[in-house]
A and B are shown apart, each in its own frame.
Chain A
Amino acid sequence: MKIKKKAKVVAAVSTASLPDIIFMLLIFFMVTTVMKDFDGLKVEEPSAANIQKLENRKNVIYIWQTKDGSVCVDDQTLTNVDDISEILKFKLENSIDPGKMVVQFKSDQNTTMELIQQIHTECRQANALKLSYATKKLGSD
């Protein structure tokens, strides 16, 4: 007569709730992650037809200019336009690939060229030569 073997009970930690834990983590990080959300100054962008997309947000320095003359670099509000070249130099030195850095002008369409020219000069002094003028796509509104 054969002796029936007892079925061995495999000791296992119940993993059924692991996905729930992971999903909780996912949702937690989604909710708590705050993007660097500086909306910049209030500008009304001009429109143009021949616009190009920028490649990578990491390689972009934003400069806001409003029509009343206030200037903002990334999230710093400036009182003196002459400081821009120093800030740009600092940002270029600390970037991974300075050759790919693009300065984007987010200017109001009614800004005078006086301010734009000053910032052009500042960019040239900091050797940040690649520019992009933020515009709306022509005919989008």
Chain B
Amino acid sequence: MITKKRRGVDEINSSSMADIAFLLLIFFLVTTTIDPGEGLTMVLPPYEADPLVKDQKDIVKILVRPSGEVLFDGEFISIEQVELSAKNKVTEFQGIFGAVDENNKPKQPIFVIETAEKAKYQIFLEVLDGLKEANCRKISVVES
């Protein structure tokens, strides 16, 4: 008489699937970051600092008028000219005071942006962007 062999049901061992799922869970928890946004960066002077103490020679004043006109160190310029004017100022400044400071960084004047109260934020940012384009590191703002 022929006896049937009992067939074992083939099964894949799935006990480690849970671990894989856990690892995926933890991996995504750790790696997920929310985009914090981007923008033009700037460092404000401390509240106590008196801007008048600074040596006047290394200050370049940029005035933004309510109408949106820009006065760069006393001269009317257009927004597009900010970058070029700033570059020229840096070159001029380095011609007088030397190219590098004691830390071997290129010497730069301090660019101070002064805005009228009625001036638009957009114009201010365009001026700031122009200065950044010219690689100016020392930028400050003044409340008028």
Residue ranges of A at the interface with B (Cβ–Cβ < 8 Å): 15-16, 18-19, 21-23, 25-26, 35, 46, 48-57, 59-60, 102, 104-105, 107-114, 116-117, 120-121, 123-125, 127, 129-135, 137-138
Contact = CB atoms under 8 A, between A and B. Distances in A.
Nearest to B123: A113
A134 B18 CA distance: 43
A127 B47 contact: yes
Contacts, number: 150
A70 to B, nearest CB: 15
Contacts of A117: 115, 117, 141, 143-144
B84 to A, nearest CB: 15
Task: Pick the most buried of B43, B119, B125, B144: most chain A CB atoms within 10 A of its CB.
Answer: B125
A116 B144 CA distance: 12
Contacts of B126: 46, 48
Given A18-B15, A110-B121, A114-B117, A133 B144 contact: no
A4 to B, nearest CB: 15
A40 to B, nearest CB: 11
Contacts of B74: none
A107 B126 CA distance: 14
Interface in B24-67: 24-25, 33-47, 64
A12 to B, nearest CB: 9
A113 B117 contact: yes
B38 A134 contact: yes
A26 B125 contact: no
Interface stretch (B92-100, B103-111, B128-136): B128-136
A44 to B, nearest CB: 10
Q: Which 7 residue pairs are nearest across A and B when measured between Cβ atoms?
A: A19-B17, A18-B18, A50-B132, A114-B117, A109-B122, A22-B21, A57-B36
Contact of B38 (A15, A21, A51, A109): A51
B14 A15 contact: yes
A133 B38 CA distance: 8
Contact of B143 (A16, A53, A59, A121): A121
Nearest to A62: B37
A102 B40 CA distance: 12
A132 B42 contact: yes
A130 B41 contact: yes
B124 A113 contact: yes
B120 A110 contact: yes
A130 B128 CA distance: 15
B76 interface: no
A90 B6 CA distance: 74
